Structure 1
Amino acid sequence: MRDRCRALLMERYVPDAARPWAVSRYSADRRETQAALEQAQTMAMLSPVQVVFLENAEAIESLGEKSRDEAVELLTAYLKDPAPFTVLVIEARRLDQRMKWGKLLTEKALVVECGLGENLDERQAAAVALASAMAEEQGVEFERGAAEDLAESVAADLMRLRTEIDKLAMFAAGRKQIRREDVRALVVSEKTTTVWELADMLASRQGRKALEFLDRLLREGEEPLPMLGAVTWMYRKMIEASELRGVTNGWGAARTLAMRPEQAQLALESARRISKARLLAGLSALQRADQRLKGGGEDARAVMEFLVTELTGGEAPAPSR
């Protein structure tokens, strides 16, 4: 979302030819707040307007008291008389309004939250628009209805949306169009509980049942690589869920995990049944399986069966014939 916002700001205010001179980026984490504000007060060459980005502004919170106060004073002085030829963009992962700089920005600047919001319909519509923009950047476009199918399949999860578009764009590069049938073929739908059914089997170490479940999915035509991607995504979500504190239900976890409440609830329940160490070990196993599948030299079913056995801690299955 922030990448997209940056791109739109540059497109709106700075001509292509002038961007090497009229777009600059600084980081508060590298203690460049003063340099950013000095640049904001200096006219850029070859452009009537410049855009100055100050990233990682939350780092101001962790400075020593003297350095933090100096940074806030510099920012206060600038906001009293901002340069008319500069769009100053201050980026932070969070805005703590208990801190001086957080209060200052809330009072003196336009605060924009880069997110899809909590309304499911609005999240879906925004994800569809972003999917179209991401596809355009990859040089492809969606067939009518395909972007909607994709956004629904990944439940408007932006990280997974980008990953799936990268995969679909490569698959559709020859015809420059992503079709609805491509989405159905390559994207394992997050809207179903399939991947979470498997999570329950893995969590309870039901190796035989998980292997039977895997066999059914493969016989029904599920492709190993996108299935592996979905399980990897699931493990990452369970790791995120395991790190949440004071959250007891899916509604409370939905926003932080960027998932629908019912799926967030499943992530919480699964994370409670698998230790953090086991989740991290599982993620490593998934990465190894991904490398083996992409290498192309091994039987895909055998790789997936070995993976399920490793994740459930059971005995290795006999090789598939």
Structure 2
Amino acid sequence: MVTKIWSQIEKGDVQPVYLLTGTEQHLLDETIKKLIKAVPGMTSSEVNRFDLEEIPIQAVLEVANEFPFLVDHKLIVAKNCSFLKATDQSKEKQNHQLDLLEKWLENPSPTATVVFVAPYEKLDARKKITKKIKKHAVVVEAVALQGQDISTWIMQQGKDKGIEFDKKTAEFLMEMSGTDLLTLATEVDKLAGYLAFKGAVDIDMIEQLVARTPEMDVFRLTDSFVNNKRAESIAVYHDLLRNGEEPIMLASLIASQVRLMIHVTNLRKKGYQQQQIATTLRIHPYRVKLMMQRKLPPLQVLLKALDDLATIDLQLKTTSGNRQRKLELFLMNGL
């Protein structure tokens, strides 16, 4: 896991070569920030940065092999390593001498740390250079974290800022803000500032300071609706309207949540587990976890709600009058 590598870096255990791969940009950026902080005397402005779509790899190796000037150790970031993919579009622009890179990896410079960044979903594992760099580099896979990993990551982020999350508060923050790491990092920073960078985070604090995403509010709205908590449904609905959300969009999002509940219900009946359901539906496992923690209505009740929402959607698109009231009446009637 990426947090384990971060812990090693923070302890000063900085290796000569890193390979950062994956599409979770926040994890890529955070790893580089931690390396900058860990290299003695290094600042962001002193990092040697190369774009391998514009510069050949041999230029990077030349700088890596040069003796550092005014610093004891150099940090080099080489981004867009497209030669690690199946289709290397950079070949048209640059003549990368990959044989030099292969030899260099066997004996990298002792006075430099080189970070190769390949921000792609998948690398070509059949390529000789891919096998070589994975063998000699510390590989950081910046992939979307799963539910438990995200809560662990939140707790680690809080610790880095001098504040403390327990499992319950970390999961509540996820319920409020979703699973986007950049958004969560921003909220952790906000909470740390409020606590003056010391102390424990509690549920009340998160409710007061953290802004809910529209998607999470719609989840709360749908959850309260299907559980016949009518007063709560109406309160959340009015909050969304005050925030500028349109009834037609909300009806569509509620219908999407109900469809998801139907799919989860059907797959659970077939014996699917949380991760299998998330993979099948191509959604984040944490969304599945939230649904599985709740008692969902019977399938026929969900199907009727979906049919009613289709009628509401048609009315909102084709009739005049108080559009806000049409969806409000649907929520008031409950299931």
Please tell me the TM-score bracket, short chain as reference. Answer: 0.5 to 0.7
Decide whether the 8 Å contact of 1:40 with 1:88 is kept in 2. yes
Pairwise CA distance, 1:29: 2.6
Match of 1:90 in 2: 116
Q: How many residues align?
A: 241
Pairwise CA distance, 1:56: 1.7
Decide whether the 8 Å contact of 1:36 with 1:54 is kept in 2. yes
> Which runs of no fewer than 5 residues in structure 1 stay unpaired?
202-211, 239-247, 267-307
**Alignment CA distance shift 1:113-1:190 (3 Å):** farther
- Pick the aligned partner of 1:150 from 165, 173, 176: 173
The aligned amino acid for 1:96 is D
Match of 1:180 in 2: 203
Quote the RMSD (CA, aligned, Å): 4.9
**Alignment CA distance shift 1:214-1:193 (3 Å):** closer
Decide whether the 8 Å contact of 2:58 with 2:96 is kept in 1. no
Pairwise CA distance, 1:187: 3.7
Provide the TM-score with structure 1 as the length reference.
Answer: 0.55
Which one has the largest radius of gyration? 2
**Alignment CA distance shift 1:158-1:175 (3 Å):** closer
Decide whether the 8 Å contact of 1:249 with 1:265 is kept in 2. no
Pairwise CA distance, 1:6: 0.9
1:244-288 deviations in whole A, cap 9, x for unaligned?
xxxx9633268x75542617999xxxxxxxxxxxxxxxxxxxxxx
Match of 2:103 in 1: 77
Match of 2:182 in 1: 159
Pairwise CA distance, 1:125: 1.1
Superposition map of 1:215-234 within 5 A: 215-219=234-238, 224-225=242-243
Provide the TM-score with structure 2 as the length reference.
Answer: 0.53
**Alignment CA distance shift 1:187-1:35 (3 Å):** same
**Alignment CA distance shift 1:71-1:125 (3 Å):** same
The aligned amino acid for 1:111 is V
- Pick the aligned partner of 2:152 from 112, 118, 125: 125
- Pick the aligned partner of 1:262 from 288, 292, 311: 288
- Pick the aligned partner of 2:50 from 17, 26, 42: 26
SS in 2 for 1:43: coil
> Which runs of no fewer than 5 residues in structure 2 stay unpaired?
1-26, 226-230, 258-274, 293-311, 326-335
* In 2: Cα distance, 1:180 partner to 1:130 partner: 17
* In 2: Cα distance, 1:197 partner to 1:10 partner: 44
- Pick the aligned partner of 1:3 from 4, 26, 29: 29
Instruction: Report % sequence identity.
Output: 17
Match of 1:15 in 2: 41
Match of 2:15 in 1: none
Decide whether the 8 Å contact of 1:150 with 1:183 is kept in 2. yes
**Alignment CA distance shift 1:74-1:158 (3 Å):** same
Is 2:38 the partner of 1:38?
A: no
Decide whether the 8 Å contact of 1:26 with 1:53 is kept in 2. yes
The aligned amino acid for 1:90 is F
**Alignment CA distance shift 1:66-1:173 (3 Å):** closer
Pairwise CA distance, 1:12: 1.2
Decide whether the 8 Å contact of 2:52 with 2:90 is kept in 1. no
Match of 1:251 in 2: 278
1:113-134 deviations in whole A, cap 9, x for unaligned?
234654x43432123212554x
The aligned amino acid for 2:150 is R
1:45-68 deviations in whole A, cap 9, x for unaligned?
222111111112135533369778
* In 1: Cα distance, 2:174 partner to 2:233 partner: 25
Is 2:82 the partner of 1:58?
A: yes
**Alignment CA distance shift 1:55-1:223 (3 Å):** farther
Pairwise CA distance, 1:222: 6.5
1:94-119 deviations in whole A, cap 9, x for unaligned?
4321223222212222222234654x
Decide whether the 8 Å contact of 1:29 with 1:60 is kept in 2. no
**Alignment CA distance shift 1:124-1:179 (3 Å):** closer
Decide whether the 8 Å contact of 1:52 with 1:86 is kept in 2. yes
**Alignment CA distance shift 1:153-1:250 (3 Å):** farther
Match of 1:294 in 2: none
SS in 2 for 1:112: strand
Decide whether the 8 Å contact of 1:25 with 1:53 is kept in 2. yes
**Alignment CA distance shift 1:24-1:250 (3 Å):** farther
* In 1: Cα distance, 2:317 partner to 2:232 partner: 16
**Alignment CA distance shift 1:223-1:126 (3 Å):** farther
